[in-house]
Amino acid sequence: MQDNLTWWRGGVIYQIYPRSFMDANGDGIGDLAGITEKLDYVASLGVDGIWLSPFFTSPMLDFGYDVSDYRDVDPMFGTLDDFKALLARAHELGLKVMIDQVISHSSDQHPWFQESRQDLSNAKADWFVWADPRPDGTPPNNWLSIFGGSAWTFDSRRRQYYLHNFLVEQPDLNFHNPEVRKAQLDNMRFWLELGVDGFRLDTVNFYFHDAELRDNPPVPAGEAKTLGAPDANPYTWQRHVYDLSRPENLDFLKDLRALMDEFPGTTTVGEIGDDNPLERMAEYTDGGDKLHMAYGFDLLNAPHSASYIREVIERFQRLAGDAWPCWALSNHDVERSATRWGEGEDPVAYPKAALAMVLSLRGSVCLYQGEELGLPEAEVPFERIQDPYGKVLWPEFKGRDGCRTPMPWTDAPRAGFTAEAVEPWLPVDERHRPLAVERQQDDPDSVLNATRRLLAFRQAHPALVDGALSLVDVGEDLLGFIREAGDERLLCVFNLTGETLSTTLPQPGTPLQGHGFASALDGDTLTLPAYQAAYLQLDR
């Protein structure tokens, strides 16, 4: 167990997407009161804390990632008092509370941008990224928006373009301006003083842009596109050298860490979308003076073979130094892992094995709501699509709605998420109803109860929480590594395939119980049936 100041190091954080977790007021949209109502369930899983996706005042064009007031709650989700009640109840239950911070860009409805766009001489004129057109009137450079098209939009009042890495309605703030940096740190101080335990930092490597506005180079023919975006998106056709991950970002992260250090026990986890995500993760978290944790998209994409996971671990170990990762298999931006990784695999056994694997890696873990139920990606018909990303790239990319549908609490038509007479903001997938919390609660073999066992097992073994990790050779199709802390040395082996596989132990060990998986040890030969894990205490 970690102490209260370093709870995050090896902690497990449960991500809640407020729109889809629980609707307490019966309007078809989840809210803060609904989250508070279900915190006992979250605590029963055995996680250390929660991360709330944005609930701030917003026009909701990107579902809260377009903030128009950084210090208030959107009426859709409740009030600031509702948040304070949520915070108090979570702390009563021993849960830490982390909240999203979307500081690289705001909504175009934010008062800062409303003032900035008026002319070139107002007090906020330099608070956003403005640039003159080229002589022919075209945008200043070739930068692209993740959501499609140019990252620049012309504003007739200033007769300039403004930068938006995402929606047109999400202008990028100019972090080269020290007033902007101070204002965003002050906004975060507001929430820290309310008592939050940390921040998940959206697009943490997007804060600074190249001051010279140089063009990004293309991805050379035949080279892999590594950003966490679909291939159908031209955004992946560039090497993102100048529009993100600029060196100036490191100094700002140090200023942010200094703020966090004023509030002992708080933490940060940064989202990194980059051409070299593991390198950036290591750079942003090493030295103990920047981010506490960071995550990339290496386990949030399609490959899931043992050799691929082994390569990710090897690369991070080679780069990491004292950096600390936060691993996740699912979140609100990617297809659910039970489909993305588990398509064609056993729908109950595979999610258990995948969870065992990620919960055994060195680092912290984010567990996305519904992942503990083994939910597959939901099917959302085109006419119900809400995500602007999906609308632009349909049908090659259907957007992110399929991982954001309502949490199934019961097997009723509305899944216990909202009143039966109310149509939820996204439809309930019929395949989710049999997987509801109510249906899995009393089934010892359910994914839900397997998750609880795994979390309890993790907490009972210090080596799994904060121990060192060294890979071992257990064959091409199995993944194996040793976790070690103090006197405890554990061999962890995972079979993510539908076949029975065997391996020779690298050294003698005694199988551990309490994790819920089956394996057989005959001499030094370990045999794992399909979708199983083995944990052995190694002899000294």
Supply the residues annotated as catalytic.
202, 262
Look at residues 317, 131, 159 and name the one whose alpha carbon lies nearest to residue 242: 131
Take residue 101 and report the two structure tokens written for it.
């911070």
d(CA 186, CA 145): 28
Q: How many CB atoms lie within 10 A of CB 397?
A: 16
DSSP codes, 37-63: HTHHHHHHHT-SEEEEPP-EE---TTT
Choose among 479, 458, 454: nearest CA to 372: 454
Residue 514 makes CB contacts below 8 A (sequence gap 6+) with 453, 456, 457, 460
Q: Which long-range contacts (CB under 8 A, 24 or more apart) does 112-117 make?
A: 112/173, 112/183, 113/171, 116/171, 117/155, 117/157, 117/158, 117/162
Q: 209 to each of 107, 149, 234, how far by Cα in Å? A: 18, 18, 20
CA nearest neighbour of 164 among 181, 179, 144: 144
Q: Is the dihedral of CA 63, 61, 395, 272 positive or negative?
A: negative
Helix segments in 359-494, DSSP class H: 388-393, 437-440, 447-460, 462-466
Query: Which residue do the tokens 């001499």 mark?
Result: 523
What span, in angstroms and rounded, lies between the C-alpha atoms of 301 and 295? 13
Could you tell me where the DSSP H helices lie in 155-223? 178-194
- What's the start-to-end Cα distance of the chain, in Å? 23
